[in-house]
Structure 1
Amino acid sequence: MASTSGRQFNWFNLLMIIAMSFGSMSYGYSASIIATTLAQPTFLTYFELDTRSDARSLISTMNGLYQVGGFLGVFTVSYFADNWGRRAAIGVSAIITALSGALLAGSVNVAMFIFFRFTSGAGAFMLLSAVPIWMNEVCPPRNRGLLVDIHGASLLFGYMVSAWVGYGFFFYDSPSAWRAPLAFQCLPSLALIIFLPFMPESPRYLLLHDRLEEAATNLQRLHTPEEAEVELQQIAAQMQIDRTLPSSYWTMLKKPSYRKRTLLCLGVTCGIQFSGILVINNYGPTLYAALGYGTAQQLVLLGGWLTLAFGMGCASLLVVDRFSRPKLMGAGILGCMVCLIIEAALVAQYGGSTNKAALSAAVAMFYVYVIFYEVCMDGPQFAYLGELFPTHIRAKGMNIGVAGICLMNIIWLQAAPTAFQNIGWNLCFIIPGTIAGFGIYMYFPDTKGVPLEAVSAMFGDQDELYSGLGGEAKADVEMVENKADFATEYKETTV
């Protein structure tokens, strides 16, 4: 039975996605607030980072351990999501993020601050993984990219808010001015915790655990009646076979079709991180300082950059379901690389000079860069990751993808301060980023608009697909020799 044409979700679905996006905002704020904190004189003075000989190493550790916490924490998401439910995984993540924000704001020494940066990273990256798992599983095929991309737009809203909160408290005359922006990290997580009991559990999780009536009720609440009926049949049939399949991390490496998905997942997240986005975000004030701007100007430029990023994240909602996922992401990476090439040339020629036109052009390249990144990559990557994996390993697949983000960021953020001084940070990204962009654009499969239960055909899981789609869809598969073509046919017949 094919998916219905036209709009497949109802407005309750959209409302629940927006409510869940408080978790996305929490990640964005938590990940970004360190940028303005490191530019806050009261923070540097309190921890003596303006006088200590090891200040550079401590700053690198504050950034690096946040990513280490994320890398380790994210692997717990699949345990909570698969055993207790998708909402439980989100709730645990939100609690950790809220508590860490409170204790960061109350830190009394640098060791305490670094430790709770570690736990804050764990909670935030757990949210980054858990929220899009739920979103992918409650969104219908036709509108999935748009609705899941709200995750990307919301985390950018968190970035933007952190920049302007940090800027505002820069002018607050108090030795504790740095604490309040860190404490604000708790607010979106607490809002999410309050809303969570009212949000429906993922129908796919419920059917995987043989809770048919609850799943049917939730699908009726989330989707139009016609689409809910179609999806209930597709999902219920597929879950009958999914619950019998192995779902360990070892299986994801051992089974060829799962291994291919895992490599594609890492290829996307690691490839996108080669663009250098988090280095520009976290060390934005440092980069602007190198171009000769004062502290207040640095914070304004960072705030403007993140405001533009949020606007472009919203613009991405309009294009994500109109283009092939790999082509959109690959073109975005290549656009970012063009910006970095121009940036590298401007910095090499005019860095440290008083040429205002050249310095303005260098800042402009950062702004053009973020347009490519946010429209093409930030939100779409989470829709793509959720689409790659079947339900019984989707949480683990998302964990691996987000862990790839953490791993790349550990490398870049630890190396960035030294790279700024010695080799020029732009050069670290341009060559591998260009290779990644072309690779994703040319060779990665497109999952846009394909029902999650039909994606298996693209990876040769013929038996699993037969078991899940039923007689009519099975006949369609048998008519297509190349299983990758089935996904394309499926999309075309439902447009």
Structure 2
Amino acid sequence: MDDDHQLAFDNGKNASSTAYDGPRPHNYKDSLSPIETSSTDVDEESTWKSTRFRWFVIFVLSFSGDGWSYEASVISSVLNMPQFIAHMGYADTGVLPHTANILVGPIYSLGQLVGGLVAGWQADRFGRKSTLWTGTVLVLFSTSLLIWAPDVGVLIFARIVQGMAIGFLILGFQIYTAEVANQRERGFLSGTSLISGCIFSTIAAAVAYGVTYSSGNWGWRLALAISYIPSVILFFMLPFIPESPRYYYAKGEEKKSQETFIRYHGTDSGRMTKRAELEYEGMKAALAYDREAKNTGWSAFYNTKVARKRTFIALSSQLIWPWAGQSAWTYYFGRMYTYANITDVHTQFGINLALTVAQIFAAIGGSYLLDRMGRRPAFLIGIGQAIIFLFIQFILAIKFFDTNSNNKAAGAAFVSCYFISQTFWVMFFSPVVYLYVCEIFAGPTRARGFAIGNVISMLGGFIALVSSQPTFDSLKGYTWLLFAGIETVLFINIFFMYPETKGKTLEEIETVLGSEAGASFAHHVAEVRAEEHMD
């Protein structure tokens, strides 16, 4: 055994020896955060270098984007461009065939399902960074296919690869950021990928808007090619970014784990603050407990009450977005605008551009607020406002559109509801939905837990997207009432089932959930504090 692995083995034994296997204090879940120290514990030495390095790394990784905002903005625009439709060979009809139109959008979700599932295994086996590498390469490949695509068959294959790429990138970024950011900034830093995605969406939407005034193929190809920019940046920056310290420790590389933890949370002189040292030692205790208790296999998702609660939250949280109305708009927005009596193509694309601009500011504000107001309010406000606007759209639809009333004011109100609702959705729901899943799972199951949630998310998305057009054809305006009803059930579930995780380290969240690893962590921190007071 080499020196590094021997050190890891010895430290692992020492950490695990403090794992608490006796009765837990009755109020340990309700106690103040053990890492929140008194003023006498806070080191006065500057941590500017590590903070700057941490923010820079996550900012670079945020170019992976959030996947959804860019994909929804660009592809929904391109699929409705007359030039693109003509390039696919359907200039005479002006639309893609019904079957192709149904497949091109939803097939992306199946690609992301596969990519995210493989990424969960890969992140545990080869590291968090490896999933970012795979996703970056797949984005470059899929973008090239989309730009070249001579027919619908290649287009569909490219969309599958593109979905796989986003599955790798979302998981890699969210897991890495959750494990590297501190508890006071995790919400905002996790949201930087959303901000990045919205910025590139706006650039692409601006190109798409300009293309509506041209007749060549260069415009839609340029809109698609914009995704090269963040992918190339990632490709050249990833070699200089370290692996997650939690992954290093889980794999027995204690020395690398400690060195990396100091780079991200240490002082300018290269040592840990007392707060960082407590977090690091607590992290080791929790990971060591899970390793000793064998909470690393698939049974860890269902073998205890806490495990089942984690899995339930992961699954239910990922079923929210498909039923918030985006499924009808994202790939059929031309038809939806026509439904709302807005038929001018330039106006449609102009509204789409304005929406992406508004979403940049919404993403920035929402990511900032996530660390201030908490995760539960973000969920509840995001879904609550969606329910209200879906109900308003239902009233407008059955009163004016289903009766073939050519009411332009009602059409403007209908589209405005979507515009406002989606802006608030990006502000409150989008920043929290991926982060929350990362927070509630323990280190050994975090990547696979995220992957399981992704499977349900993409299955739900696929079903919602495939069924949107038939459902709309059958129910007309009552489609919005159906969506509102589903979202109401999910709102109630969040209110009663989701704990708050704001301002807590990943190991402190274990105490909130009531896991044995959380008890081990809390006991270990208490022992460290007791030793400090004795000294």
Q: Which moved more, 1:39-48 or 1:1-10?
A: 1-10
Residue in 2 that maps onto 1:342:
392
Deviation at residue 373 of structure 1 after TM alignment: 0.8
Deviation at residue 278 of structure 1 after TM alignment: 4.2
2: CA distance between counterparts of 1:164 and 1:426? 29
Q: Which moved more, 1:299-308 or 1:467-476?
A: 467-476
Structure label with greater radius of gyration = 2
1:389/1:212 Cα in 2 relative to 1: closer, same or farther (>3 Å)?
Answer: same
SS of 1:60's partner is helix
1:440/1:466 Cα in 2 relative to 1: closer, same or farther (>3 Å)?
Answer: closer
- 2:119 pairs, out of 69, 77, 99, with 77
2: CA distance between counterparts of 1:337 and 1:241? 42
Residue in 2 that maps onto 1:112:
154
Residue in 1 that maps onto 2:215:
173
Q: Is the 8 A contact 1:86 1:202 kept in 2?
A: yes
Q: Which moved more, 1:389-398 or 1:218-227?
A: 218-227
Q: Is the 8 A contact 1:98 1:187 kept in 2?
A: no
1: CA distance between counterparts of 2:265 and 2:462? 40
Partner AA of 1:202 in structure 2: S
1:438-490 Cα offsets, whole Å, 9 max, x none, are 2212331111112111222233322x2344445343799xxxxxxxxxxxxxx
- 2:86 pairs, out of 38, 45, 64, with 45
Deviation at residue 228 of structure 1 after TM alignment: 3.1
Deviation at residue 3 of structure 1 after TM alignment: 4.1
Q: Is the 8 A contact 2:300 2:445 kept in 1?
A: no
Partner AA of 2:493 in structure 1: G
- 1:412 pairs, out of 464, 480, 498, with 464
Q: Which moved more, 1:234-243 or 1:374-383?
A: 234-243
1:414-446 Cα offsets, whole Å, 9 max, x none, are 112223322133133110111111221233111
SS of 2:192's partner is helix
1: CA distance between counterparts of 2:309 and 2:527? 23
Residue in 1 that maps onto 2:481:
427
Partner AA of 1:434 in structure 2: T
Partner AA of 1:144 in structure 2: R
- 2:422 pairs, out of 370, 375, 378, with 370
Structure 1 position 137 matched with structure 2 position 179: yes
1:106-158 Cα offsets, whole Å, 9 max, x none, are 11121111111111111112212221011100011122112212222222233
Structure 1 position 396 matched with structure 2 position 448: yes
Structure 1 portions without partners, runs of 5+: 477-495
Residue in 1 that maps onto 2:377:
327
Structure 1 position 233 matched with structure 2 position 281: yes
2: CA distance between counterparts of 1:175 and 1:467? 61
Partner AA of 1:46 in structure 2: H
Residue in 2 that maps onto 1:164:
206
Structure 2 portions without partners, runs of 5+: 1-33, 268-272, 530-535
2: CA distance between counterparts of 1:197 and 1:310? 29
1:218-271 Cα offsets, whole Å, 9 max, x none, are 222222532432322222232223334242334313443222101111111212
2: CA distance between counterparts of 1:297 and 1:472? 60
Deviation at residue 91 of structure 1 after TM alignment: 0.9
Structure 1 position 296 matched with structure 2 position 342: no
Structure 1 position 127 matched with structure 2 position 169: yes
1:456/1:364 Cα in 2 relative to 1: closer, same or farther (>3 Å)?
Answer: same
| TM-score, normalization by structure 2 | 0.83
1:387-428 Cα offsets, whole Å, 9 max, x none, are 100111100111122222211110111112223322133133
1: CA distance between counterparts of 2:487 and 2:499? 19
1: CA distance between counterparts of 2:279 and 2:491? 34
Residue in 1 that maps onto 2:332:
283
Q: Is the 8 A contact 1:466 1:474 kept in 2?
A: no
Q: CA RMSD in A?
A: 2.4
1:223/1:265 Cα in 2 relative to 1: closer, same or farther (>3 Å)?
Answer: same
1: CA distance between counterparts of 2:102 and 2:438? 32
| TM-score, normalization by structure 1 | 0.89
1:175/1:380 Cα in 2 relative to 1: closer, same or farther (>3 Å)?
Answer: closer
2: CA distance between counterparts of 1:115 and 1:220? 44
Deviation at residue 4 of structure 1 after TM alignment: 5.0
**% identical aligned pairs:** 24
Q: Which moved more, 1:400-409 or 1:350-359?
A: 350-359
Q: Is the 8 A contact 1:91 1:196 kept in 2?
A: yes
1:345/1:102 Cα in 2 relative to 1: closer, same or farther (>3 Å)?
Answer: same
Count of aligned positions: 475
Residue in 2 that maps onto 1:318:
368
1:309-368 Cα offsets, whole Å, 9 max, x none, are 221111102311222312320222011110111112123223354433222222211122
Structure 1 position 36 matched with structure 2 position 64: no
